[in-house]
Structure 1
Amino acid sequence: MHKLPLTLACGRYDRTQALIDGRVQPDGVDLTFLPLRPGETFWRMLNHGEFDASEMSLSSYTILRSEGDTRFIAIPVFPSRIFRHSALYVRSDASIESPEDLKGKRVGVGDYQMTAAVWVRGFLTHDYGVKPEDIVWVTGKPIHSIKPPTGLTLQSIPADTTLEAMLERGEIDALISVMIPRGFGKTVRRLFRDSRKVEIEYYRKTRIFPIMHTLVLKTELYKEKPWLAVSLYQAFCRARDIAHRSMYDTDALTVSLPWIIDEVEGTRGLFGPQLWDYSIEGSLPTLDALLAYLDEQKLSKRRMSVDELFVPNIGPGLAEYLHATGEA
């Protein structure tokens, strides 16, 4: 049977490894999987449309859609999810001990609109009363040019330095970073000293497990072959499930962490049996919160709805039907 050639760019994660090494093949697809880092993937897809499908920043994608740019359409696969209280860094000798101490301070962020920063500003506003306009933002080059939100103080990074270097020299007071600074543990520390405890409490209160990235298809390709979205979705689910089964194996540990089994069991006790949800309904508190934050922070042109982001032919209906008929 002839299969559709398809090029997909996405990160190399445990939950995508079975797609990379070929143990999982999307039905009807001859897949070329390019295991690229997120920043490169986003830049090449947003600016040049180089791939048929790719991992994509959820905030950048939502902003595009709010502007009427419909080149891409998302599948409810979320390759990257991570709590971001642990992404706030200050100097080790700083007197900043609480989020409220950031008022009036200079905070660096590589891209003001990146999803991690949206989440950080969201919890700063809603949980600590620190609004975006209370901070001086020092930013890098955006992946997608947008009109800066009104009422903010935004300053560009000088061309001859980096945000990490500025933090080390005291030229900024704090840093939102998706990467761990090189000075961490020496000259740099996290603002939340026990970030895991804070993040667990945040999840218990909100049921939010922050989504960073989704998966997008070129819209024209989806319109021509809507079955492709379902095929990719099912393949990503199979790859994720393989990773989870492998991780929870006491015959010989597949992950180089001595207490990984206890970690899995403890996380299941908090999250339930599905640790990494790929569904709209299972991720609704998270999706609703991000869309609200993008609107509040004046990054999206209007308040988007979840239904506007994802393909319409993936949802619980098919699984429920197949279960009822005995085919599942």
Structure 2
Amino acid sequence: MGKIRLTLACWDYDRTRALQDGRVEVEGVDLNYLPLRVEETFWRMLRYGEFDAAEISTGSYLMARDKGVPKLIAIPVFPSKTFRHSCIYINADSGIQKPADMAGKRVGVPEYQITMATWARGILQHEYGVPPEKMKWFTGGEEHPGREDKIKHNLPANIDIQPVPPDKTLSGMLEKGEIDAMISAHMPSPFVRRHPKVQRLIPNFREVEQDYFGRTKIFPIMHTVAIREEVYEKNPWIAQSLFKAFNESKRLCQEAMYEFSALKYMMAWSIDEMEKEREILGDDPWAYGLEANRHVLETLVQYTHEQGLIGKRLDVNSLFANSTLEDFKI
């Protein structure tokens, strides 16, 4: 029996590049790797199910599992993790000086349910005492008008939320003071241009994020990898094959990062940066597998439920293909 053809959409990460260029093969699979930007991958997978497997927003995946559509099953691979204290931007005339000042303010977010926004709201609530219902929410495109939520939600009645006008963008509204703040994975264009009115809420975010990790041991998970259920049910062995291949690709990346006979990256003190991170975050903060990430996943489920995006607290074991939750023994 020959290999099955499988299309995987996943961005061009250093930790997945060995999968993309074929150095790592997926057992039993002829892999078609599409290195698409994450926004395009999420849209095409969640709206239209175009790929056999795809990198996907973990928050959107939780909503899909809660609602039963689209029908997906994940493997405990997390290609994107990012601290989110740095992603809150403010207009300098808004009166916001510290996170607690976000209460009562107009806050833009591209889509309410995306993982980045869920983490940021959870941090504002649990670290600074500002729950989502204390802010007024505006959704829309960051740089292009007309963006819509990929998954529809039914939020609690105490959430004040509305779309921005169809001809406006969040970045433009933030620059003009039409909203007070914006939560975004992308740096807003006026911030990139160094517009004096657009600033980070937490300018010393690295220091704050390191303290946050030291106290909570949370390195926030953004994305996981999900398989369409019909593909998984037809060939359930795919889950373990993909899981093993992602792990091997990450291992090769980590090994290559410590080759310093000549600098591979255009960072003069890259080894110093890596050693500093290792001292703070531990030997493998990018570990895959459920147990290594249980605490972070349970926190994300808690935040997603608290914010009314899912109707029940999902058991994290139920989120992943059973065969990826344990190893065989010899």
Please classify the TM superposition score into its range, dividing by the shorter chain length.
over 0.9
**Residues 89, 174 of structure 1: 8 Å contact kept:** yes
- Tell me, in whole angstroms, the C-alpha distance in 1 between the residues paired with 2:76 and 2:183: 26
Unaligned segments of structure 2, at least 5 residues = 141-147
Alignment of 1:45-56 (within 5 A): 45-56=45-56
- CA-CA distance at 1:70 after TM superposition: 6.0
Task: Report the CA distance between 1:192 and its aligned residue.
Answer: 0.4
Give the aligned partner of residue 173 of structure 1. Answer: 180
**Counterpart AA for 2:171:** E
Q: Does the 8 A contact of 1:92 with 1:186 survive in 2?
A: no
Which of 305, 310, 319 is the equivalent residue of 2:320?
310
Instruction: Name the CA distance, whole Å, in 1 between partners of 2:100 and 2:297.
Output: 26
Matched residue SS, 1:97? coil
Greater Cα shift, 251-260 or 206-215: 251-260
Confirm whether residue 262 of structure 1 aligns to residue 269 of structure 2: no
Match for 2:219 among 209, 212, 225?
A: 209
**Residue correspondences, number:** 320
Residue of structure 2 equivalent to 1:279: 289
- The one-letter amino acid of 1:104's match is G
Per the alignment, residue 82 of structure 2 pairs with: 82
Q: Percent identity?
A: 47
- Structure 1 partner of 2:145: none
Query: Which residue of the partner structure matches residue 28 of structure 1?
Result: 28
Distance in 2, matches of 1:37 and 1:104, equals 34
Counterpart pick for 2:156 among 144, 149, 156:
149
> Separation in 2 of the partners of 1:9 and 1:205?
35
Question: Root-mean-square deviation (CA), in Å?
Answer: 1.3
| Partner SS state of residue 143, structure 1 | coil
Q: What TM-score do you get using the length of structure 2 for normalisation?
A: 0.94
- The DSSP-based 3-state class of the residue aligned with 1:8 is strand
Residues 74 and 309, structure 1, Cα contact 8 Å, conserved in 2 = yes
Deviations 1:200-223 (A, max 9, x none): 111111111101110001112212
Shift of 1:28: 1.1
Asked if the contact 2:6–2:32 (Cα under 8 Å) also holds between the matched residues in 1, the reply is yes
Matched, 1:134 2:139: no
Give runs of ≥4 in structure 1 deviating > 4 Å.
Answer: none
Q: What amino acid is aligned across from residue 91 of structure 1 in structure 2?
A: N
Displacement of 1:12 in angstroms is 0.6
Which residue of structure 2 aligns with residue 236 of structure 1? 246
Alignment of 1:66-145 (within 5 A): 66-69=66-69, 71-92=71-92, 94-140=94-140, 141-145=148-152
Question: Partner residue of 2:12?
Answer: 12
State the alpha-carbon separation in 2 of the partners of residues 34 and 275 from structure 1: 26
1:96-148 C-alpha deviation (Å, 9 max, x unpaired): 12110011000000000000000011011111110111000011221111223
The answer to which of 102-111 and 144-153 deviates more is: 144-153
Q: Determine if contact 1:111/1:142 at 8 Å carries over to the other structure.
A: yes
Q: Secondary structure at the match of 2:111?
A: coil
Higher mean Cα deviation, 260-269 or 180-189?
180-189
Task: Output the CA distance in 2 between the equivalents of 1:233 and 1:317.
Answer: 11
Aligned residue number for residue 186 of structure 1: 195
In 2: Cα distance, 1:316 partner to 1:204 partner: 28
Q: Is 300-309 or 112-121 further displaced after alignment?
A: 300-309
Q: Which moved more, 1:184-193 or 1:9-18?
A: 184-193
- Give the 3-state SS of the residue equivalent to 2:275 in structure 1: helix
Letter in 2 for 1:157: V
Other-structure match for 1:41: 41
